[in-house]
Amino acid sequence: MHIIALDIETTGFHPENDKIIEIGAALVNLETRKIEAEFETFINPGVPIPHVITNLTGITDQDTGNAPTMDDIRADLIAFIKEYPIMGHNIGFDISFLESNGLNLPNVRLDSMDIAHIAIPKAESYSLEIVAEKLGMSKPGQHRALKDVKDNIEVMFKLLDIYFAKNSSEELSDIIEKSLSPWKDIFKYAIRNHNTQIVAYDEQTKQAAKEAAKCEVKPNTLQEVAPHEIEQIIPENSGKKTIIAVTGEKNLTILNPSQYLDRNLFRQLTDKESLSPEETVFALKILPLLRSANYQLSSTEVSFPSNIKNLWFDYCYTSYPQDIIKTLKVANPIILTHQTLARLAKSEQLDMSDANLIIDDIDEFHNNVQRAFTMHYSERRFADSSLSEGIKDRIAILFGYIGMMYEKHGQSFALELCPYHFATMEWQKISDLATKIAEEAEDNSEESSMLRFLEKSKNGSQNLRIEIMLAMDGSPILKITPLNIGTMLAEKIWPIPSTLSLIGTAITYKGESPAGTYLKKLLCLPEDFRVETDNSYIDTENVDMPPAKDPLFTTNADNYLLQNLDRIEKPVFILANSQKAAGMIHHKLALPFKEKGIAVMAQGASGGIGKIRVKSTKDPENTVLVGTYDFWRLLSMEAGITNLKTLIIYKLPFPPPGTTPFKEPEDFNAFKEYALPITGLKIKKIAKTAQKTILLDSRITI
């Protein structure tokens, strides 16, 4: 029983534009676990190798200058691969590049990412480098083709051993027998022939809570506080129920219903006559976690690859099960996310009448609640529902009309509908058909409720923003965003609890008078609601630069970083105003500072968020991170990068025009009344986690 393990290195991530620069492959005997033959070669891409790729792989133009072309090695590679199954980590990436070079291989494809997800329920990252490190392997992640191939082979065997040494049952064997996965035969072999003398992988461990003084949370106050952990804001012996709403997923008591697995629905999956490759990975990952009959599995305990993530929503609860409802009544404190609090408050499922309500990160509360109630409609969302085939056919026509509307009127990523659009003949077709479909869908299913909401929203209102967007495959998505979040909060949350404490590390910005005006207006808080600010000193340095819109700004800012970054205390976070800008900064800095032993990692250029988080915490004194505000929030939210030595503001992250999250009143100045306040709060929030802030773009002071 043999397979081919394959890996390639490339000049970029897009097979239609980028080129292959190295290929490595090995013929593996699954019974002996030995490599029986190897294939390795540089490839002359015919174009210069970008600095970022040389930084990643170490491969230079000198290495590939005299190497064969793809045409030169095509026949040899095909002869080496023969008809064996091809295995790789995210193998679709490698195959897509081979296909773009005329190698349309019909071989079975095995993605070892599937095995990693099955064997390791939750990890920060499932990249080959991070998984290999978890398994105790030395010096993984070299980004050289044959080295990665050999690492991948070792990872595959270790993961199969780990999974099947821990898990063996008739039910598991039955799932594999019914599976349509290309891994089926290897799974069956591994059940019988796995190594029982395995070394456990490095489990993801929770960091011990640091001893820290309690943060004094004041009742009925919009309060600015120092950076803190959840444990610091839980009151001691208050005598009342305490409800705490937060932004992350640490220490949560209650989740949304859709974050809990419905065992009865999952049983329907495992009882199917056959399971697709995606269903196989999902079932094999979930099954070992359900050993306890009373255990309520949540999505926070597992990670899924992108092609499987949506399966969770086919097998989760749509409303709270009884044991969770009981928890809502008896738990104290109750810790939940902003989104969960908003949904429970609106549906009146959470009794807050005699409770202390604390909302942390109050500056992000409006945005998170708005996202919780924003609806995304696509044909695919209804395709697998219990609606009749006749209704599904009409929904397909409806989204055809929506796509035609976008083709005629759309000019960018999203088409925001205005009164002009609602008066067009194209929208009239959409409106009429939406009405007919909603009338036919009379049951109480979630899909029918969605259709009725869609019908009510069809002509827009001052409280809704309706947009048509395109999915990756070009299909239309209708996005409906509520703009009356503040009004809902004023009705459903603010008057209910016994005490209301709204806290955050940034509730005002320099120059705002009176302090807290923007947040109070955004959240529809009473005018007399008390505000208390934190006037602790923020160490800032303004660097003399041309204005941010001056063509010379970028050149001067890049030169400043090249000349000074090695002397600036690390870890450093360089704040960019877009992911594209972060990539350009990374392109300039990564290679020269790698030679100095400093790792520069950027959003979108250095792997996924989990991989960057793991790598950045290993050697923070030699780490520079580059990205947007949202990137920083993701890094910091789950016990990641919270203690910066230096923040460098490369360019201020002003929001793009037309993104105001509420209905703009007459004579509204979008810059002064929205863009300036929201940017000022973001900058202050990051700056309070750093010991020093350096401003290259000084349009806002801190």
Q: Which CATH architecture has domain 2-193?
A: 2-Layer Sandwich (3.30)
Higher pLDDT, 140 or 6: 6
Would 209-259+317-373+485-536 and 540-695 be classified into the same CATH topology? Answer: yes
User: Taking 50 as the threshold, does the pLDDT of residue 205 lie above it?
Assistant: no
Q: Which CATH architecture has domain 209-259+317-373+485-536?
A: 3-Layer(aba) Sandwich (3.40)
Angle (CA) 661-664-668 rounded to 5° is 125
CA distance 627 to 602: 6
Q: Which CATH architecture has domain 540-695?
A: 3-Layer(aba) Sandwich (3.40)
Q: Residue 389's Cα: distance from chain center in Å?
A: 34
Give residue 207's pLDDT: 47
Give residue 23's pLDDT: 97
- At 214, the pLDDT band (50, 70, 90 cuts) reads confident
Across 17-31, 45-59, 185-199, least confident range: 185-199
The arithmetic mean of pLDDT across residues 346-360, rounded, is 93
User: Taking 60 as the threshold, does the pLDDT of residue 373 lie above it?
Assistant: yes
Q: What are phi and psi of 202, to 5 degrees?
A: -75, 100
- At 576, the pLDDT band (50, 70, 90 cuts) reads very high
**pLDDT tens by residue, 608-652:** 888 898 888 889 999 999 999 999 998 887 544 557 999 999 999
- At 445, the pLDDT band (50, 70, 90 cuts) reads low
**pLDDT tens by residue, 119-166:** 999 988 999 999 999 998 877 667 889 999 999 999 999 999 999 988
Higher pLDDT, 459 or 339: 339
DSSP, res 621? G
**pLDDT tens by residue, 649-701:** 999 999 988 889 988 888 899 999 999 999 999 999 999 999 999 999 989 98
User: Taking 90 as the threshold, does the pLDDT of residue 33 lie above it?
Assistant: yes
Across 6-10, 316-320, 383-387, 392-396, least confident range: 383-387
The arithmetic mean of pLDDT across residues 332-349, rounded, is 93
User: Taking 70 as the threshold, does the pLDDT of residue 447 lie above it?
Assistant: no
The arithmetic mean of pLDDT across residues 510-518, rounded, is 94
CA distance 14 to 97: 8
CA distance 86 to 5: 6
The arithmetic mean of pLDDT across residues 280-292, rounded, is 90
User: Taking 60 as the threshold, does the pLDDT of residue 234 lie above it?
Assistant: yes
Q: What are phi and psi of 613, to 5 degrees?
A: -65, -45
Cβ contact 98:17 at 8 Å: no
Q: Residue 43's Cα: distance from chain center in Å?
A: 34
Give residue 443's pLDDT: 64
DSSP states of 439-498: HH--S-SHHHHHHHHHHHTTT--TTEEEEEEE-TTS-EEEEEEES-HHHHHHHHTTTSSS
Which amino acid would we find at residue 568? I
Give residue 279's pLDDT: 95
The arithmetic mean of pLDDT across residues 523-528, rounded, is 93
Higher pLDDT, 381 or 578: 578
CA distance 226 to 19: 49
Give residue 340's pLDDT: 95
* Residue 7: strand pairing partners: 24
Give residue 414's pLDDT: 85
Q: What stretches of 314-388 show up as alpha helix (H) in DSSP?
A: 322-330, 338-347, 365-373, 379-383
- At 472, the pLDDT band (50, 70, 90 cuts) reads confident
Q: What is the mean pLDDT of the chain?
A: 90
The arithmetic mean of pLDDT across residues 2-25, rounded, is 95
Domain ranges of the chain: 2-193, 209-259+317-373+485-536, 379-474, 540-695
Give residue 263's pLDDT: 92
CA distance 419 to 654: 28
Higher pLDDT, 430 or 382: 430
User: Taking 60 as the threshold, does the pLDDT of residue 206 lie above it?
Assistant: no
User: Taking 50 as the threshold, does the pLDDT of residue 208 lie above it?
Assistant: no
Higher pLDDT, 293 or 81: 81
User: Taking 90 as the threshold, does the pLDDT of residue 397 lie above it?
Assistant: yes
The arithmetic mean of pLDDT across residues 20-30, rounded, is 97
CA distance 255 to 300: 9
Give residue 319's pLDDT: 87
SS3 672: helix
Query: Does the pTM exceed 0.85?
Result: yes
**pLDDT tens by residue, 217-229:** 999 999 999 988 8
**pLDDT tens by residue, 246-278:** 998 878 999 999 999 999 999 999 999 999 999
Report the residue count for the chain: 702
